[in-house]
Amino acid sequence: MNSPIQPPDPLDPDKIKQNLKTKRIAGKILVYSRTASTNDIAAEYAKNIKNDGLVVLAEQQTKGRGRAANKWQSNHADSILCSILLTNCELDAEMLSLTAAVATAEAIDDSARIKWPNDILLNNKKVAGILLESKPFPQYTAHIIGIGINCRQTSFPLELTDIATSIDIESKAACDRTAITKRLLTSVEYWLDMATRNTRQVIEHWQKLSTQLHHRVTLIYNGKNFTGHCIGIDPQKGLILQLDSGATRFFGAAHTSIAK
């Protein structure tokens, strides 16, 4: 059993901004000690198009959520709980999801891998999750990229032990959440810029990090199981499977979950 690790210093927007080279992301950073959901706060700021690039962070969420009404549980100062607001983005939701996954994996570690549609893995266990939410307005659509990264946890409830991990558990050392947050914001800005110029670069990097590409996968789509080999990803249509029946089919992330 890992020995207890002292909690880190609280996240400080000034420390995060120090030497941060981003031009679009993190012009304004809000840090909350405790809130229901950083995505919900970002959604309020989404009503003003001028808030493009706003970053909302929290030390703890009381109603954090993932895909399909799943809850994201976190104790105080254990995680990076981050929402990035985009009010001026030409990318669609599917491409944004791929881009956010690549950026998050890169920020965590070279060994991090992507499990479509929204999980980041270390040592085949979930270390981070992404929740993309879109809000339409008359003149624009706001996108909120919610990212949760397990950092300082030294253990998990029994039901999560085999499927969840943290950066501290995998590295066997205390990580610097501020440094990881800065890497995350820098990585998101880099890959957003790349996606607007060359989507193929993002797709190729996603494929390099994917745990499912060229593997047999079972998906649940609208309550039905589909099994086949993953042969690729389409930025608009989703995961591409060569089904056991011989047919090729696309599965969009909004209505699909991974069975195995």
Q: Are residues 124 and 226 in the same domain?
A: no
Q: Given a cut of 60, is residue 1 above it in pLDDT?
A: no
Question: 158 with 241, same domain?
Answer: no
How many domains in the chain?
Answer: 2
In a domain, residue 4? The reply is no
Q: How confident is the model at residue 253 (pLDDT cuts 50, 70, 90)?
A: confident
pLDDT of residue 6: 55
Residue, of 250 and 72, whose pLDDT is higher: 250
Q: Is 7 among the domain residues?
A: no
Identify whether residues 152 and 249 lie together within a single domain.
no
Which pLDDT band, with edges at 50, 70 and 90, does 65 fall under?
low
Please report, for the domain that includes residue 245, its CATH number.
2.30.30
What is the per-residue pLDDT for 66? 57
The per-residue pLDDT for range 91-115, each reduced to its tens digit, is 999 899 999 999 999 999 999 999 9
Question: What helix, strand, coil percent values describe the chain, rounded to 5?
Answer: 30, 30, 40
Q: Are residues 121 and 232 in the same domain?
A: no
Give the per-residue pLDDT at 100: 97
Residues 170 and 233 in one domain: no
Looking at the structure, tell me whether residues 248 and 148 fall in a common domain: no
In a domain, 163, yes or no: yes
Domain region containing 246: 216-258
Alpha helices in 132-198 (DSSP H): 167-171, 177-197
Mean predicted confidence (pLDDT) in 19-36:
95
CATH code of the domain in which 79 resides: 3.30.930.10
Distances (CA, A) of 246 to 41, 74, 214, 229: 46, 43, 15, 10
Q: Are the C-beta atoms of 26 and 55 separated by less than 8 Å?
A: yes
Angle at 46 (CA atoms; ends 41, 51), nearest 5 degrees:
100
pLDDT tens track for 163-184: 999 999 999 999 999 999 999 9
Spatial contact of 165 and 151, defined as CB atoms under 8 Å apart: no
